[in-house]
Amino acid sequence: MKKVTAEQLNASAWAAALAAPQTPDEVPEGWHTAKELSAMLGKAGPTIGTLLSRAIAQGKCERKDFRIVSGQITRPIPHYKLVK
């Protein structure tokens, strides 16, 4: 029988923790991605990016990252919401 060292147990615990699939966040109502805003407003992606940066600097909207499924993986994507 092969001995298992504490270091190997620690490594396997890390591997298991890091391999766990990430679950997507629930995006609250009113938050939109730049891609969604681009489609809603009929503006190009770079234009929306500039407008969003300006709106954030002026305090008109806020930005928060939510983990959502993008393609086949879950990744943090910036979402934007108007400040009331």
- Tens digits of residue pLDDT in 51-73: 999 999 999 999 999 999 988 88
The residue range of the domain holding 65 is: 25-82
pTM for this structure? 0.75
Residue 18 lies in a domain: no
* Average of per-residue pLDDT across 40-60: 97
Say how far residue 56 (Cα) sits from the centre of its chain. 18
- Enumerate the H helices of the chain as residue ranges: 6-19, 34-41, 45-57
CATH number at residue 43: 1.10.10.10
Residue 9 lies in a domain: no
Query: How high is the pLDDT of residue 16?
Result: 80
Residue 35 lies in a domain: yes
Query: Which residues have C-beta within 8 Å of that of residue 40, sequence separation ≥ 6?
Result: 32
Number of domains in the chain: 1
Residue 6 lies in a domain: no
* Six token digits for residue 10: 């620690």
Query: How high is the pLDDT of residue 2?
Result: 63
Q: Is 17 a residue whose pLDDT tops 80?
A: no
Residue 62 lies in a domain: yes
* Average of per-residue pLDDT across 29-35: 96
Residue 14 lies in a domain: no
